[in-house]
Chains A and B, each alone.
Chain A
Amino acid sequence: MDLTLKIWRQENRQAKGRFETYLVTNISPDSSFLEMLDILNQQLVDKFEMPVCFDHDCREGICGMCGLYINGRPHGPDTGVTTCQLHMRKFKDGDTITVEPWRAKPFPIIRDLVVDRSAFDKIIEAGGYVSVNTGGVPDANALPISKKDADIAMDAAACIGCGACVASCKNASAMLFVSAKVSQLSMLPQGKIEAKERVKKMVAKMDELGFGNCTNTGACEAECPKEISLSHIARMNRELYAAKIL
């Protein structure tokens, strides 16, 4: 496959960015999208140019590191996958592909396609945990949990923190990310104990960091590589009303 790539290049956070156009030829449809970028980067290094910087790590769709906005969609045209799991067979020979970084105020650009997602860590830091220290906890089977609840908690816990929800949302809202953690812990008895405090703190932190408001467009759910459901956002809303009003 021969492809034209329009890629956002930006040297650092302050610098003014621009699109650069590159040609890559003879790409195997079995390559992953990131392997295609590896090939481009090899070409650039051979010319002693700075390769395109992009975040990536596990390349099997679980670390949440990779995240490119490809042709107007986070993680590209496939569904239920991360960028590293996107394969070139999803494109056609001769295509022009536009690659952009995640765009959101709380995700400033570090270089090229690499953004700083530490805002997500700050949200977890604000309360995305059960406050137990190591040791002195009861036996794991002392607290039966219904399979249904455990399964819902697991659905939410599958979040990999990639930020596609923010990137896809027209409002750059982080509600799906935040609600996934709130929902997971609120489904489990051990997490219920401090559920009210948790949801208040996490939502407040989310607001403080400058994420947008949820307008229930459903883009996050559609683009989430782990297909996390909007129902978690609804649950978080309920949790917050219960915490703040009741």
Chain B
Amino acid sequence: MAKLESKIPEGPIAEKWTRYKAHQKLVNPANKRKLDIIVVGTGLAGASASASLGEMGFKVKTFCIQDSPRRAHSIAAQGGINAAKNYQNDGDSVYRLFYDTIKGGDYRAREANVHRLAEVSNLIIDQCVAQGVPFAREYGGLLDNRSFGGAQVSRTFYARGQTGQQLLLGAYSALMRQVEKKSVTLYTRTEMLDVVIVDGKARGIVTRNLVTGEIDCHFGHAVVIASGGYGNAFFLSTNAMGSNGSAAWQVYKKGACFANPSYVQIHPTCIPVHGDFQSKLTLMSESLRNDGRIWVPAKKEDAEAIRAGKLKPTDIAEADRDYYLERRYPAFGNLVPRDVASRAAKERCDAGYGVGTGLAVYLDFSDAINRLGKEVVEQRYGNLFQMYEKIVDDNPYETPMMIYPAIHYTMGGIWVDYELQTTIPGLFAIGEANFSDHGANRLGASALMQGLADGYFVLPYTIQNYLSDDILTPRMSPEAPEFQEAKKAAQARIDKLMSINGQVSVDSFHRRFGLKLWDLVGMARNKEGLKQAVADFQQMKKEFWTQVRIPGDKNSFNPELEKAGRVADFIEIGELMARDALNREESCGGHFREEFQTDEGEALRNDTDFMYAAAWEYKGFDEDPVLHKEALVYENIKVQTRNYKK
């Protein structure tokens, strides 16, 4: 039976991290050389952790499924990274960043973790600049900032529209420097299949070489999971095609609790789905909402005519347009937080007012163009307009853009304590893979901050507190029985997949499952639907294991086999998401239950019964998981209802 001990240090919130560092146990340099650490994933969190641990002298083994660590999906983050530098002299502070993050997360995150995140945010910017990350600068040579949703200050550092890329390349180059120094061994195109537990502690992993199909065991005194989120369960998402939840799911199956799986972030400004064979959704930066106005036709017949191609958006008179965000949220208008904007779009489309295929709304810049002139609009959003035009073949200067919400980020993940350790000793989870510091909703530009905070400045400290007891533990041979057993199990799973020889392709399963997940566990959920989802996904799980078809063989490069393992896990993750959503009888952040809303259709939180992190413990393939609750205590922030109307 797992026990949740959050291990929050004593003392006032602003001193907890300092005190922790002052009193934690460390590993001396001579002993670091004797300790192996496995890091799975090379996104911002994994790459920065590998580099930092390598610099300290640990022997690090780093794994990624792509051909290079630089491909990890952190690279696609556009907007920026938050830090409490207060360079703009607009009243920012560590406390304010802490407060905004807790509030933005709808009061469902752990105070101590979030405060630490805000504290180290400044160090991240210093570190990245020292690495040569070309952040945007003012003419005076100092760093520039932009503002982002959910904050009243400008605290977002950015590198054009490619902040994630630049930060990841910074971490990647630091990682490659350690590879050169032989303190990090890099395994690319290698997928973790399982974690190896010896005497209750994580001691290694089983991997598959994606080129040769070879299955190997690797020993580590500790294992760090940095494999990102599970948003791709939905099939259509803004995640990369290879992003998957399998590493996190395997450790869940080995006993690590999985927390808040139902918290998924849906980004309101994505390019809508165009056809059945669409493989992925493309995000348009949130910044577009600064000047774009969102609307749908006010009359249903106009919407129908537009969908039928009989009317163009420019044919709709001003009076016949429904600027529904401005109508519903006069105070914030088009700048309401992501979850609110997304739900409002869905509401209109479900009511029959959608445009395009019916699942799209307009984002109109004609007012901005009239007010500011085309040139100013071009300066601000030119590259985004160009991207839109490349994809959709429509000119947003002349006709409004179409947008629709899409799955973007998962706040839920592996449960970790203050030290980022899971419920399995020696197993750590960082970045999007853990249930993180974002509560029920993540603010823009905070994902990059959290990934790098965990990797550069938190894990390298906290992992030593664990490893200091391990300095006498000798390296284990991968021939040890526990490793061989795990290897056999992994092999057996692959053999089973290859032997099914059914009729349905992996992608067909994924698409069908993803659509159902989107319908039942997407932007709006209800009890009936969620119950059905649990039952359907259990059924689908069985179907998958009897009907899937995987061509090729297991001892070669076989993307179908890779996908099969991941989709099998996604279906199980989906089931847990539905269970968690069913359990959480309230609406908060990215989780919206139709039964729990105000008369005006706003989310209704239930702080009395649900102010906790829901951590699920695996009990078996056909067993129901067990729920553990970590109560969330707010000592430094007054819990309030989010209000964006006035």
Contact = CB atoms under 8 A, between A and B. Distances in A.
B70 interface: yes
Contacts of A246: none
Nearest to A57: B240
A11 B176 contact: no
A126 B279 CA distance: 37
A150 B557 contact: no
A146 interface: yes
Given A42-B507, A45-B560, A63 B75 contact: yes
Contacts of B318: none
Contact of A134 (B52, B138, B552, B558): B52
B3 to A, nearest CB: 32
Nearest to A126: B180
A153 B141 CA distance: 13
B560 A140 contact: no
A208 interface: no
A118 B188 contact: yes
A114 B126 contact: no
Interface string A45-58: 11011110101111
A157 B128 CA distance: 14
B566 to A, nearest CB: 13
B282 interface: yes
A144 B166 contact: no
Nearest to B274: A30
Contacts of B177: 125, 129, 131
A121 B274 CA distance: 36
Contact of B172 (A59, A124, A145): A124
Interface in A128-147: 128-135, 137-141, 143-147
A143 B129 contact: yes
Contacts of A140: 85, 125-126, 128-129, 135, 143
Contacts of A191: 132
B211 A110 contact: yes
A166 B68 CA distance: 17
A71 B521 CA distance: 43
Contacts of B558: 50
Contact of A35 (B143, B240, B279): B279
A22 to B, nearest CB: 15
A114 B68 CA distance: 13
Contacts of B134: 150-151, 153-154, 157, 184, 188
Contacts of A129: 131-132, 173-174, 176-177
B140 interface: yes
A28 B279 CA distance: 13
B578 interface: no
Nearest to B188: A118
B241 A50 contact: no
Interface string B556-575: 11111000000000000000
A31 B505 contact: no
Interface stretch (A81-89, A168-176, A209-217, A229-237): A81-89
Interface string A91-123: 000000000000000000011001011101100
Contact of B75 (A58, A89, A125, A135): A58
B393 A35 contact: no
B280 A85 contact: no
Interface string B100-126: 000000000000000000000001011
A53 B137 CA distance: 42
B241 A59 contact: yes
B621 interface: no
Nearest to A150: B137
A178 interface: no
A31 B275 contact: yes
Contact of B67 (A55, A87, A141): A55
Contacts of A35: 277-279
Given A31-B275, A51-B551, A63-B76, A150 B180 contact: no
Contacts of B143: 140-141
Contacts of B159: 154, 157
Contacts of A147: 137-139, 141
Which interface class (under 10, 10 to 19, 20 to 34, 35 or more) fits A? Answer: 35 or more
B555 to A, nearest CB: 10
A65 B67 contact: yes
A44 interface: yes
Contact of A87 (B70, B71, B393, B552): B393
Nearest to B55: A133
Nearest to B73: A58
A11 B87 contact: no
Contact of A57 (B71, B126, B283, B560): B71
A5 interface: no
A158 interface: yes
A64 interface: yes
A188 B73 contact: no
A42 B85 CA distance: 51
Contacts of B55: 133-134
A184 B132 contact: yes
B150 to A, nearest CB: 23
A150 B136 contact: yes
Given A121-B176, A124-B173, A154-B160, A130 B71 contact: no
B195 interface: no
A38 B73 contact: no
Nearest to A145: B141
Contacts of B547: none
A134 B460 contact: yes
Nearest to A61: B387
Contact of B179 (A45, A85, A125): A125
Nearest to B161: A62
A141 B558 CA distance: 48
B549 interface: yes
Given A48-B549, A145-B137, A134 B127 contact: yes
Interface in A165-195: 184-185, 188, 190-191
A145 B72 CA distance: 29
A31 B128 CA distance: 38
A57 B73 contact: yes
A62 B280 CA distance: 14
B127 A57 contact: no
A85 B391 contact: yes
A35 B557 CA distance: 21
A59 B279 contact: yes
A134 B142 contact: no
A161 B392 CA distance: 26
Contacts of A160: 75, 165
Centre residue among B129, B211, B508 by max chain A CB count within 10 A? B129
B91 interface: no
A133 B198 CA distance: 33
Interface in B57-80: 66-73, 75-76
A46 B385 CA distance: 38
A87 B557 CA distance: 27
Nearest to A64: B71
B572 to A, nearest CB: 23
A1 interface: no
A103 to B, nearest CB: 17
Contacts of A38: 277, 279, 507
Given A12-B556, A125-B176, A134 B279 contact: no
Given A124-B172, A125-B179, A30 B141 contact: no
Contacts of A141: 85, 87, 142-143
28 contacts: A28-B275, A45-B506, A45-B549, A50-B551, A50-B558, A51-B560, A57-B242, A58-B76, A60-B238, A62-B165, A64-B70, A64-B71, A65-B71, A87-B393, A114-B557, A117-B68, A120-B68, A121-B70, A121-B176, A121-B188, A124-B173, A130-B173, A135-B127, A147-B138, A147-B141, A150-B134, A158-B160, A190-B132
Query: What are the 4 A-B residue pairs with the smallest beta carbon separation, nearest first?
Result: A144-B141, A129-B173, A137-B130, A154-B134
